[in-house]
Amino acid sequence: MTDKNMADKIYVEPLTVTTVKKILLKEKPDSVLPNLGGQTGLNISMELAESGFLEQNNIRLLGTMPEGIKRAEDRQAFKDTMEEIGEPCVASKVVTSVEDAVEYSKEIGLPVVVRPAYTLGGTGGGMAYTEEELREICSHGLKLSRVHQTLIEKCISGWKEIEFEVMRDRFGNCITICSMENIDPVGIHTGDSIVVAPAQTLADKELNMLKNSALKIIETLKIEGGCNVQYALNPDTLEYAVIEVNPRVSRSSALASKATGYPIAKVATKVAIGYALNEITSGRKGSKTAAQEPVVDYIVAKIPKWPFNKFLTATKELGTQMKATGEVMSIGNNLENALMKAVRSLEENVDSLILPKLQGLSDSELRKDLEHQDNERLWVIAENLRRGVSIPEIYNITKINEFFLEKIYNIVRMEEKLQQREITPELLKKAKVLGFTDLTISRLSGVPEKEIKEMRYSNNIVPTYIEVDICATEDVGQAPYYYSVYNENEESANGQKRNFECATDTQRRCRSKSLYSKKESHRSRFWTNKNRSRN
């Protein structure tokens, strides 16, 4: 939005109501779109609307109306709305003073979660285990809240955290774009959690229950555009609770958009100016409309990226306040593969689940580390599995679903096989399927990387690149994006294999570019490089 090739004019000014008022008076736009500028944009838009400034200057608020935004963002209004439509919420109370918070905590018992209204990334909130902590967190949260309001919520740490990205137009057409599941249970902000899409541990009954709930909520709030709904789900029963709703494009929206090929920001913008979902297409004959739900037949993994290497004195403990300043995303056809790709993408000088500094810790120290929710938790779990700690025991401490722990253990077991066995084509292929690079396999096995590569090529262990379907794209000639798999020779949608016999990376890129220029290439979902490939 601040690109000179896109924006007519760029202002480098403080993001405050006063500044925005001056710009609106100077530029005289006829409308403002509130839900694409994150929480800050939403807050400023609400203040402009509530003060009467927009009405006085004949400026229209596009998309979701202020009433819908208020019912989603205002803690008391949101709670009342959920009760009206029969959607369960966690036992909670909206307070405007510290004393009220302390009084309510005595009713439901500590610990409690403090959630300020109208803040970004859990800012000003947190988990309070004592009355002293509650007073401190609540006081800070009230100061940061735009409406001087916080929600005091019963702690349900350990429940699954599930998200749905949904889209609705002004005609009432609703779809769910993507389901996402946090590997970390409730208690860690979703921005600080490792997230997988689609949700992996839900039975069909659970998935449909939450999906129908999300569609009912977005319809009740009359959201026009994208919306993110977050749930807590009891891992032992069908009991669930709505945590919150973000009536705007969020960081989760960016993940869901890239994961599915569904252009959420573009569709939300067109919906805001009056388009129906079934009217938004790419323009290509036979292409999908924005009213069709994406089909995600692969696994997406997101791992947050924290700035702790820059803020050395900051606590690495994770909670309800987001500390990540970025994230990486990867795609694979199994969770192990996606996790390994994401770990490498972090650029933290690690390419596996082995963290050298943990290897010097004693067994008791490692088990103690399982109790800490920090940025190294994934590697701590892997190291404990190497030391013989059982999956049920790790689950009891971390409350991370045993399905995810089993996937981490699969990676650990492959490390052990590579360290102890002679490398055979069969073992090499299994390692590649799980996402190990040639360099990692070489380091673990002691076999030179050159020999690993030669074994792969001679046994035709090369990647297949699978296209991610892109829905409702604007540019007919837009190149799709791909993810690599190793476990099978995939075929294209029309039954044709795409083989590239390239001698160099440059030649492969040139041939790829020429392929994309052909119309028939857009119908092809798969292509295979038989000769050369990246790890």
CB 296 within 8 A of CB 197: yes
- The better pLDDT of the pair 507, 339 is held by 339
How many angstroms separate the CA atoms of 526 and 514, rounded? 16
Reported pTM: 0.81
Q: Give me the mean pLDDT over the 242-249 stretch.
A: 86
Q: Give me the mean pLDDT over the 190-213 stretch.
A: 94
Q: Which helix or strand (DSSP H or E) is residue 24 part of?
A: helix 17-27
* Predicted pLDDT of residue 506: 33
pLDDT at residue 439 is higher than 60 = yes
What does 316-340 look like in DSSP terms, one character per residue? -B--SS---SEEEEEEESSHHHHHH
Q: Domains in the chain, please, with CATH? A: 1-62 (3.40.50.20), 91-154 (3.30.1490.20), 160-304 (3.30.470.20), 464-529 (no CATH)
pLDDT at residue 19 is higher than 90 = yes
* Predicted pLDDT of residue 156: 85
What's the per-residue H, E or C state across 54-82? Answer: HHHCCCEECCCCHHHHHHHHCHHHHHHHH
At residue 293, the 3 state secondary structure works out as coil
Q: What is the DSSP letter of 187?
A: T
Distances (CA, A) of 40 to 63, 228, 246: 16, 16, 13
Task: List residues bridging with 326 in a β-sheet.
Answer: 305
- Residue 350 tokens read as 């690690």
* Predicted pLDDT of residue 207: 96
CB 105 within 8 A of CB 134: yes
The owner of tokens 């205002």 is: 74
Determine how β-strand 526-529 pairs with β-strand 464-467. antiparallel
Q: Give me the mean pLDDT over the 411-433 stretch.
A: 94
* Predicted pLDDT of residue 282: 61
pLDDT at residue 335 is higher than 50 = yes
Q: Which of 10-14, 295-299, 379-383 is most confident?
A: 379-383
Backbone angles phi and psi of 93, in degrees to 5 = -150, 140
Residue-wise pLDDT for 304-331, tens only, equals 998 887 877 778 888 777 888 889 999 9
* Predicted pLDDT of residue 494: 33
Residue-wise pLDDT for 476-525, tens only, equals 445 678 999 997 554 433 333 333 333 333 333 333 333 333 333 333 33
Residue-wise pLDDT for 445-488, tens only, equals 999 999 999 999 999 999 999 988 777 555 544 567 899 999 75
* Predicted pLDDT of residue 469: 79
Chain centre to alpha carbon of residue 501: 36
* Predicted pLDDT of residue 488: 58
* Predicted pLDDT of residue 54: 93
Backbone angles phi and psi of 464, in degrees to 5 = -105, 135
Largest Cα–Cα distance in the chain? 77
* Predicted pLDDT of residue 1: 61
Burial class for 9, CB neighbours closer than 10 Å (0-12, 13-18, 19+)? exposed
pLDDT at residue 123 is higher than 90 = no
How many angstroms separate the CA atoms of 266 and 125, rounded? 32
How many angstroms separate the CA atoms of 429 and 408, rounded? 18
